[in-house]
Homo-oligomer: A and B are copies of this chain.
Amino acid sequence: MTAIDRNASLPENRAELSPAQARELFRNGLVGPTAGFSRGYAQANLIIVPKDQAFDVLLFAQRNPKSCPILGVLDAGETSGELLAGGDIRTDVSQYCVYENGVKIAEPTDLSEYWRDDLVTFIVGCSFTFETALMEAGISIAHIDAGVNVPMFKSNIRSACAGSMSGPMVVSMRPIPASQVSDAVRITSRYPAVHGAPVHIGNPEELGIMDLSKPDFGDAVHVPAGHIPVFWACGVTPQAAVMESRPALAIGHAPGHMLITDARDSRYLVP
């Protein structure tokens, strides 16, 4: 098991690392949120379940495409694939969450002791993917500027159920200057495979979010005067369903600590 180096600061050249270089750093013990890593490459959420739970998870994703856009699936027992060439899904994410009966029992940096040959890995799109496009359009991303994790909230929007899986939609929040909200919608709508357009703009209370300074996952960011809180569906949603639905075993990434894939962001851009 790799030792955790929680004090290692994130590398200054993180935006320039290739996905393989970034995965190697995490494999070797770096722990931290991945926003801003490997600019131009898609990052991804994970949900890993035993084969007998896999249909329910895949159907849940099909019925909730805004929150759970599937980028790839590794067959039972497979640990690598086209999205992480030469990589290993058990080690290449900086931190994981292991759930038994819906309760988080561990946050390891390596899945070796939990791995089983019947585990199916779902690689789910992440809104970090469109952040490069937003920044190129002159829209600042508060959590990147602050060097923290994106704030995520369990909303009062219910996901569509699938078999044993049910739960709330998790959303990520970015404060956007009012004059740029239209651009943010327009740009992100062109990336439907990585959550696409926002699910809500402007009134956190309508999503059941009473205090933006207390995210359920990730870190709080300040919403400056003149900025509007904009909410996108988030790939932590399957983990929220795991917490509610209590399958015997499920594994996710630690929120904000994504798999950095070999796929270019542009692969997920629609015309």
Residue among B55, B62, B63, B192 making CB contact with A270, cutoff 8 Å: B192
List B contacts of A75 (CB < 8 A).
Answer: 163
Nearest first, the 6 A-B pairs at minimum CB distance are A55-B55, A58-B58, A62-B70, A270-B270, A54-B55, A189-B271
List B contacts of A54 (CB < 8 A).
Answer: 55
Whether A264 sits at the interface, judged by CB under 8 Å, is no
Whether A190 sits at the interface, judged by CB under 8 Å, is yes
Whether A73 sits at the interface, judged by CB under 8 Å, is yes
Whether A1 sits at the interface, judged by CB under 8 Å, is no
Whether A59 sits at the interface, judged by CB under 8 Å, is yes
Number of interface residues of A (CB under 8 A): 17
- A271-B197 Cα distance, complex, nearest whole Å: 11
List B contacts of A70 (CB < 8 A).
Answer: 62
Instruction: Find the B residue at minimum CB distance from A190.
Output: B271
Give 1 or 0 for each of A40-84: 1 = CB within 8 Å of chain B CB: 000000000001001100110011000000100101000000000
List B contacts of A192 (CB < 8 A).
Answer: 270
Q: Give, as a whole number of angstroms, the nearest-CB distance from A50 to chain B.
A: 12
List B contacts of A55 (CB < 8 A).
Answer: 51, 54-55, 58
Instruction: Find the B residue at minimum CB distance from A75.
Output: B163
Q: Can you list 18 A-B pairs, Cβ within 8 angstroms, ordered by A?
A: A51-B55, A54-B55, A55-B55, A55-B58, A58-B58, A58-B59, A58-B62, A59-B73, A62-B62, A62-B70, A62-B73, A63-B73, A75-B163, A186-B271, A189-B271, A190-B271, A192-B270, A270-B270
